[in-house]
């Protein structure tokens, strides 16, 4: 993604020469707020109560592998909101899906619902005006994570204050009435919800009800009230004239009216997921779940036992037979490679699914990954790389023929599944904050693995080593390739060139 590319290139040129102060500027105090109690008559409580009553202390999840379903699920729970909506994302694009979601948030606020929006500040430059307008609504509250104190010269501040600005909130959650939540790998933007002809990320979220929802709310409260998050109104003294407000209102109404004839809206209305949700025929998987997340003060490099990395390490170490790692950005590092090989040689079946050079949207990440492939394969680790091939139809897991994998999930022994924002790379491990859910349920985990395996033959290359060199097998066509499939000369050259720079810790 563009934000990740920015961070990587700044790291190349600046990491070794910056000594700027890494402390957060003093933005003053802010009023704390927390999750709200919900009436037993609330829509979502009425919807979920009959389901939860038969599964005490358990969590019910519905997988969201399809972009349309993932967006419908978000709109549906916001539409049902009676008391509160808490939205937390790394990227929020002001495109068609971003606007449609905002309109539903506005509708909820008009009904008296408290709306809290928490965004990472790295990519909000073009959002400031709209966020300030939104925050004028008495029921909408907006805070930014680790914001730039300068709303004009952000790029300069990112460079001069790199040691602070490099730490981003990669968490992704949407929780309504403390009764239903969506966690996973998707940000907010057309490319995450099957509404972009050029880009369509294959991703994975969970719609969850029951026991785990409260802990997602606790996670949100922790971040919302953390020192590193700042109310949008504190960062800008922008005031709007009556004319500007009228223009904004007219633009808003015109855009909503125009959207009524949108082709995308038509596809949403035909969603089978929406029909199943309306008729309460949606299949729920019930089991025990753990919500795991980094503390918001992770940048201070303290209490590492509380980091998500610690939870995931214990989770992965508990595997007895099989581990499947799905990560669009896979940079195992020397130590990680050694650990994976040791586990494989110790009897575990380890499968890695990541992006090919042609499919990746961040060349720097592939540059950091490509040098570990031979060692992993020699050590018995299986590697599949998602391909870009217009001859094959899209897979929900693998994205479309035009784009790449974006899902982040680890499955152990076909019994337990982690779904979240965490990539298998140093940036997720040590720099950004991350979150996710570990769900223990055999039918669900087995279904996830089966779905991935079904997509691999059509949408991925199987890697191997022959005579000391990498080869890529297209098992669908029965073809063997000897060079990075689908990648042109310059893409290969740039990946090799970038790999020469010592900035793996930033990937």
Instruction: Give how far the C-alpha of residue 134 lies from the chain's centroid of Cα atoms, to the nearest Å.
Output: 24
Rounded CA separation 141/233 (Å)? 9
In 234-386, beta strands by DSSP E: 285-293, 322-326, 349-355, 382-386
Q: Which residues contact 499 (CB under 8 A, 6 or more apart)?
A: 367, 368, 370, 371
The candidate with the shortest Cα–Cα distance to 102, out of 121, 84, 115, 83, is 115
For residues 460, 463, 469, 474, the Cα torsion angle rounded to the nearest 10 degrees is -50
439 contacts 417 by C-beta, under 8 angstroms? yes
22 contacts 163 by C-beta, under 8 angstroms? yes
Instruction: Give how far the C-alpha of residue 281 lies from the chain's centroid of Cα atoms, to the nearest Å.
Output: 27
Instruction: Give how far the C-alpha of residue 474 lies from the chain's centroid of Cα atoms, to the nearest Å.
Output: 29
> What distances in angstroms separate CA 137 from CA 140, 141, 142, 225, one per listed residue?
5, 8, 10, 20
- 3-state DSSP call for residue 484? coil
Catalytic amino acids?
170, 172, 177, 406, 408, 413
Q: For the beta carbon of residue 379, count every other beta carbon within 10 angstroms.
A: 16
- 3-state DSSP call for residue 438? strand
The candidate with the shortest Cα–Cα distance to 21, out of 162, 215, 199, is 162
Rounded CA separation 135/102 (Å)? 12
The candidate with the shortest Cα–Cα distance to 357, out of 464, 474, 452, 485, is 485
Rounded CA separation 351/195 (Å)? 30
**Looking up tokens 């204050």, which residue turns up?**
161
> What distances in angstroms separate CA 47 from CA 52, 86, 244, 281, one per listed residue?
10, 19, 41, 12
The candidate with the shortest Cα–Cα distance to 48, out of 268, 214, 186, is 214
DSSP 8-state assignment for residue 65? -
Rounded CA separation 333/362 (Å)? 17
**Looking up tokens 């009959």, which residue turns up?**
50
Rounded CA separation 377/470 (Å)? 9
């Amino acid at each position: 993604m563009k934000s990740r590319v920015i961070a990587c290139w700044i790291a190349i040129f600046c990491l070794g020469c910056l000594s700027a102060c890494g402390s957060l500027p003093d933005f003053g105090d802010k009023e704390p707020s927390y999750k709200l109690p919900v009436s037993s008559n609330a829509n979502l409580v009425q919807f979920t109560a009959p389901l939860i009553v038969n599964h005490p202390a358990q969590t019910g999840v519905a997988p969201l592998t399809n972009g349309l379903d993932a967006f419908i699920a978000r709109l549906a729970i916001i539409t049902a909101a009676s008391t509160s909506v808490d939205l937390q994302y790394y990227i929020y694009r002001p495109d068609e899906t971003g606007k449609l979601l905002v309109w539903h948030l506005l509708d909820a606020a008009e009904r008296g619902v408290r709306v809290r929006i928490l965004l990472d500040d790295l990519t909000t430059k073009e959002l400031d005006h709209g966020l300030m307008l939104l925050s004028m609504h008495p029921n909408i509250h907006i805070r930014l994570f680790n914001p730039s104190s300068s709303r004009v010269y952000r790029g300069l501040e990112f460079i001069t204050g790199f040691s602070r600005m490099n730490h981003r909130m990669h968490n992704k959650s949407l929780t309504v009435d403390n009764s239903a939540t969506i966690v996973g790998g998707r940000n907010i933007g057309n490319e995450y919800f099957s509404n972009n002809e050029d880009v369509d990320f294959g991703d994975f979220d969970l719609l969850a009800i029951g026991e785990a929802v409260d802990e997602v709310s606790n996670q949100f409260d922790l971040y919302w009230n953390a020192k590193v998050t700042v109310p949008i109104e504190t960062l800008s003294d922008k005031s709007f004239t009556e004319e500007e407000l009228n223009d904004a209102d007219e633009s808003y109404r015109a855009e909503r009216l125009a959207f009524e004839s949108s082709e995308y809206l038509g596809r949403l209305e035909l969603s089978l997921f929406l029909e199943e949700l309306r008729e309460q025929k949606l299949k729920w998987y019930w089991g025990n779940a753990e919500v795991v997340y980094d503390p918001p003060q992770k940048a201070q490099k303290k209490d590492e036992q509380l980091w998500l990395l610690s939870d995931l390490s214990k989770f992965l170490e508990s595997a007895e037979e099989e581990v499947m790692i799905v990560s669009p950005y896979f940079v195992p590092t020397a130590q990680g490679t050694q650990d994976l090989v040791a586990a494989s040689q110790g009897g575990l079946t380890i499968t890695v699914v990541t992006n090919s050079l042609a499919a990746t949207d961040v060349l720097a990440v592939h540059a950091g990954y490509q040098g570990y492939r031979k060692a992993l394969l020699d050590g018995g680790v299986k590697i599949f790389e998602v391909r870009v091939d217009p001859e094959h139809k899209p897979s929900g897991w693998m994205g479309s023929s035009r784009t790449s994998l974006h899902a982040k999930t680890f499955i152990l022994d076909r019994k337990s599944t982690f779904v979240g924002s965490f990539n298998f790379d140093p940036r997720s491990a040590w720099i950004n904050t991350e979150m996710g859910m570990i769900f223990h349920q055999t039918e669900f985990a087995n279904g996830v693995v089966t779905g991935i395996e079904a997509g691999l033959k059509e949408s991925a290359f199987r890697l191997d080593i022959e005579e000391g060199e990498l080869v890529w097998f297209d098992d669908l066509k029965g073809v063997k390739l000897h060079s990075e499939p689908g990648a042109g000369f310059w893409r290969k050259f740039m990946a090799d060139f970038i790999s020469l720079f010592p900035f793996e810790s930033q990937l």
